[in-house]
Amino acid sequence: MSEPLKINENYTPQPEAVAVPAFRSAAVLDGLLNVPDTKAAVLGLFDLFVSRFGGNIGYMALDKAGASAAAKLVKCTPDKLVELRATLDGEMTKLLRLRLFGAKVAPMSAPNLPFLSILRSAGPATAVELSLPANLPDLMDVAGAIDGILRAAPLRSGFQSFGFLPDVGVAGPMHPAAFRRYRCAVMGEFPTSILHLSFRTANIAQRDGDYTPGITETGWRTYVGAAFRDRLGNADTLAARGVRVEPLAGMTVVTAGDAPIWGDVNKGDTIAGYQAAHDFLRPAYGERKWLVSFAPWSNRDPDSTDLSEGYVDRLVPEDAA
């Protein structure tokens, strides 16, 4: 799968790309960068990204804490990368989020890969995403290196999977419902749902009623932190279905097969491993109403609920829905 997604024609007849195929690694880590293990993981991921893709990084965006508007993209240079690392090492106290984008002539007509995002949030938590070109020649090696860092981190939840990285500032309803064809693809902006569902936040509970936090996605690899893994299902038949379950000291890692797949319905991809993994992971998911409400199409038009529910349930077999 190599073609970008185009804008949903229900919203505009223009053919701009709104999302590109990517291999996405994302995680919520317990604590901000004043927590030594969290900082070590974030610096490790930053160093890995820069060492492998430094020559491909063209732009950056720095969202300052308390700012009323999102940061604009600016050119990124090797000197600025050194400054950014020092900012992370200094615990990122004046930044809400930093993002690095691949090089491309501006203005962007599609998201620029490779992409790195580091976000500090309530919880307290730090959310990290690395999205890489889906056709990267050494993809599995880089994915393995990211996986090694995440396994040693104070991780609450996360995933690695093929998916689509949305363009900066593109509204959710412009995304076509690509999950109907690519059943195993992760869509949407990562931090939105996973941060809200990773913690039971008192102000949200007071406003909208109590809710159950949990994980948000089934990926090729899915990371379930200690806070949620006691809710996982029965693993007895998973090995026979190609799913590996690894209980580690601070998390459980669930892997659906030897390599990620798109689950392309048009090509007859078999998604039974992902479905088995999803069935095992479902008890550890966050509350359904929040999963639906943070899906890319939520509350946008009369079809939004059906689209959002379809995405949340994309790995549920029809006879089990």
Residue range 83-142, pLDDT digits in tens: 999 999 999 988 989 999 987 655 555 568 999 999 988 778 999 999 999 999 999 999
Counting residues of the chain whose pLDDT is more than 70, the rounded percentage is 81
Q: How far apart are CA 91 and CA 76, in angstroms?
A: 20
C-alpha neighbours within 13 Å on the C-beta side of residue 299: 6
- In one-letter notation, the amino acid at residue 149 is I
Q: Quickly state the pLDDT bin for 190 (edges 50, 70, 90).
A: low
Out of 65-69, 105-109, 117-121, 174-178, which region has the weakest mean confidence (pLDDT)? 105-109
253: tokens are: 């890692």
How much is the average pLDDT of 196-225?
Answer: 79
H-only helix segments in 54-171: 78-89, 139-151
Q: Quickly state the pLDDT bin for 167 (edges 50, 70, 90).
A: low
Q: How far is CA 242 from CA 9, 207, 238, 259, 297, in A?
A: 38, 42, 6, 11, 32
Token pair 């039974």 is at which residue? 272
Q: Quickly state the pLDDT bin for 191 (edges 50, 70, 90).
A: low
For residue 180, pLDDT over 80 is answered with yes
For residue 235, pLDDT over 90 is answered with yes
Going by C-alpha positions, the residue among 112, 17, 16, 27 that lies closest to residue 61 is 112
Going by C-alpha positions, the residue among 73, 70, 74, 123 that lies closest to residue 97 is 70
162: tokens are: 């093929």
Q: How far apart are CA 283 and CA 231, in angstroms?
A: 6
Q: How far apart are CA 180 and CA 4, in angstroms?
A: 16
Please state the length of the chain: 321
Token pair 């890995």 is at which residue? 48
H-only helix segments in the chain: 36-53, 78-89, 139-151, 190-198, 202-208, 272-281, 288-293, 304-312
How high is the pLDDT of residue 165? 85
